[in-house]
Structure formats: C-alpha cells, structure tokens
Amino acid sequence: MGRYVLRRLLQAIPVFIGTTFLIYLMVWGLPGNPFAGRCGQRPCPDAYIQRMTEKYHLNENIISQYFWYMSHLVRGDFGETFTGVSVNSLLAQAFPVTLRLAIVAIAFEALIGIVAGVVTGLRKGRFIDNLVLVSTLFLIAIPTFVTGALLQWVLGVEWGIIKPTVSSEARWSELIVPGFVLASVTMAFVTRLTRVSVVENRRADYVRTAVAKGLTESRVTGVHLLRNSLIPAVTQLGLDLGGLMAGAIVTEGIFNIRGIGGMLFMAINRQDSALVVSIVALLVLVYLVVNLIVDVLYAVLDPRIRYE
C-alpha cells in the first residue's frame, strides 16, 4: 500500500511540472515583448515591469524563468497582479467560495447520481430506468451555461424563489442552485456509471454466491452488490472535485459568485497574466492532489489494486 502511494506520488510530480510549464509557456513564453497586452488595455507600468523582471528573471530564457516562478510558487508565493495586489490574498478570499460551491455540487452528484444510478440499475429496462436515462441524456446535452441561465431566469427572475445573484459572502443556502447547475452534467455521468456498474455486478458470480448462502435480499444488494458497484462512482466523484473547481468558471460567471472561476474570468478579460498563471497553476495543483487522493481511495476500496 505504501509503495503504491509512493509510486503514484512520483508519477504525479512530472505531470505537475509538465502542466504548469505548459501553462507558463502559453502565457509568458510566446515570442515578442512579454509585456505586450499583459496589463489590460493600457501599457504595463514601468515599475511593474521592473519588479516582475527582477523577481522572475524575465530577461533570461524560458526555462530559468519557469524555474524562478516555481521556486516562488513552492514557497507559497503566487506573485502579484499588475495593480500591485498580492495574488495570495486574492486567492485566500476566492478559494473558499469555490471550494464551497464544488462541495455543494459534489453533494448533488453523490446524492442524486448514485441513488438514481442504483435504482435504475436494479430496475433495468423498466419505466423508471428509461425515464432516468432520457433525463441524463438531456442533462448531458444542455450546456452548463444554458442550464444556469435558464434556472437563474426561471427561479430567480420569473418565480422569485432565489436571488438571481449570489452575495459576496456566498452562504451555503445561496449556493444550492448554482451547485446544482455546476453538477448537472457530471451528475448525469455518475448516474450512468453507477447504473452500468450495478447492472454488470448484479449478474456477477459472487452475488449468486451470496444468494446461495441464504442471505436476505437486502443484505445481498446492500452489502455485496453495492460495495462493488459503488467503486467506480466514488472514484468518479473524487475526480470530479478537481474538474468542478475548474468548471466553476461558467457557473460563477452566471451567478456572479466571487470565486476562483469568476476571478479567472475577470483576469482573462483584463489580461492580467500573472494572476491567470497563478490561478491555473493552483487549479492544476488541486486537480493533481485530488487525483492522488482518489488513487489511494481506490486502492482502499478495491483490495485487488494494491497488489497489481
């Protein structure tokens, strides 16, 4: 088990370096004046150019630039925007909001996705199965920004059930509808994943063995079948946590939530490159850490993995 975790960790390091380098390259490494169009509509302030060049060695080649950038990053310094605000303080405000939104979304995914998946898996081919399957198709097909805009308009404007935009505190109760919107597509995937898994495992030999042991139906389904069927769904839920934070950009934009996504959206529009790189690096880091946790979780859930 320890060796398995260590191996996964070692595999994640080059991916992290590669991905962040790729992003760094895309933002800073293109030929031409690095500060052209880097500070919004106006040219960059000289003081900022000087500070950045000194700190990140922007006059050297791209590899050493990246090296200096990372050396600051691993010490927890995400740099500063061209207006001189520390990125760390911005992230400290925005990150908890996005995390909360992602948690609400994951809760929807787990609750609705798994329950619907198990129910349809056990009733394969019946009316409820077809109903849920068609619903998941629609959830997958409607782009998030359409779902979000529609729900905001119907629930917020027409019916007045919710406030159309989320306040700056971003309380849990305000995040229910945005969380649902964020989860809509992945929820459908978790439903289908769980369903397929239940359908496959239902005919598995070990389920037949459990019946032959004279266990009650609820024990056969609730313990033997579910424990195996939920492994892929739980893994998927973990992976989604990282993806949902990145995907929050659309949802946060629509509901005016002041999270990472909203901030990134603004940073891109204002062409504040330092902020963009830092946010994306953070999101990639979260994504990789969550991936690692999921791998470990997977090994805990499925004992066969540990010995592969």
Q: What residues from 190 to 249 belong to the interface with other proteins (CB under 8 A)?
A: 196, 199-200, 203-206, 208-216, 219, 224, 227-228, 231, 242-243, 246-247, 249
Contact of 105 with 255, CB cutoff 8 Å: no
**What amino acid is encoded at 213 in this protein?**
K
CA distance linking residue 243 with residue 235, whole number of Å: 13
| CA distances (Å), origin 4, targets 184, 288, 308 | 34, 16, 9
Residue 127: Cβ within 10 Å count? 8
Q: Dihedrals φ, ψ of 41, to 5°?
A: -75, -30
Q: Among residues 103, 122, 176, 268, which is the contact residue for other proteins, using CB under 8 A?
A: 268
Residue 92, helix vs strand vs coil: helix
Q: Cα–Cα distance between 53 and 294 in angstroms, integer? A: 39
Residue 80, strand partner residues: 86
Nearer to other proteins, 45 or 253 (CB): 253
178/184 Cα distance (integer angstroms): 10
Binding mask 128-147 for other proteins (x = CB under 8 A): ---------xx-xxxxxxx-
Q: In this complex, which beta carbon is closest to other proteins, that of residue 7 or of residue 171?
A: 7
Sites for other proteins among residues 144-163 (CB under 8 A) = 144-146, 149-150, 153, 157
Closest CB 224 distance from other proteins, rounded Å: 5
265 binds other proteins (CB under 8 A): yes
Least distance to other proteins, CB of residue 68, Å? 20
Q: With binding defined as CB under 8 A, does residue 111 bind other proteins?
A: no
Identity of the residue, 34 or 179, whose beta carbon is nearer to other proteins in the bound complex = 34
Closest approach of other proteins to the CB of residue 290, in Å: 11
Sole binder of other proteins in the list 110, 118, 276, 290 (CB under 8 A): 276
CA distance 68 to 282: 17
How near is the Cβ of 198 to other proteins at its closest, in Å?
Answer: 11
Interaction of residue 307 with other proteins, rule CB under 8 A: yes
For other proteins, which is the closer residue by CB, 37 or 43?
Answer: 37
* Shortest Cβ 165–other proteins spacing (Å): 13
State in angstroms the smallest separation of the CB of 137 from other proteins.
Answer: 6
**Residue 272 bridge partners (DSSP):** 39
Q: 65 φ, ψ to 5°?
A: -55, -50
- How far is it, in rounded angstroms, from Cα 24 to Cα 66? 7
Distance CA 93, CA 245 (A): 15
Q: Tell me phi and psi for residue 211, to 5 degrees.
A: -65, -45
Segment 12-51, which members bind other proteins (CB under 8 A)?
14-16, 18-19, 22-23, 26-27, 30, 32, 36-37
Kindly tell me which of 146 and 176 has the beta carbon lying closer to other proteins.
146
* Least spacing, CB of residue 43 vs other proteins, in Å: 13
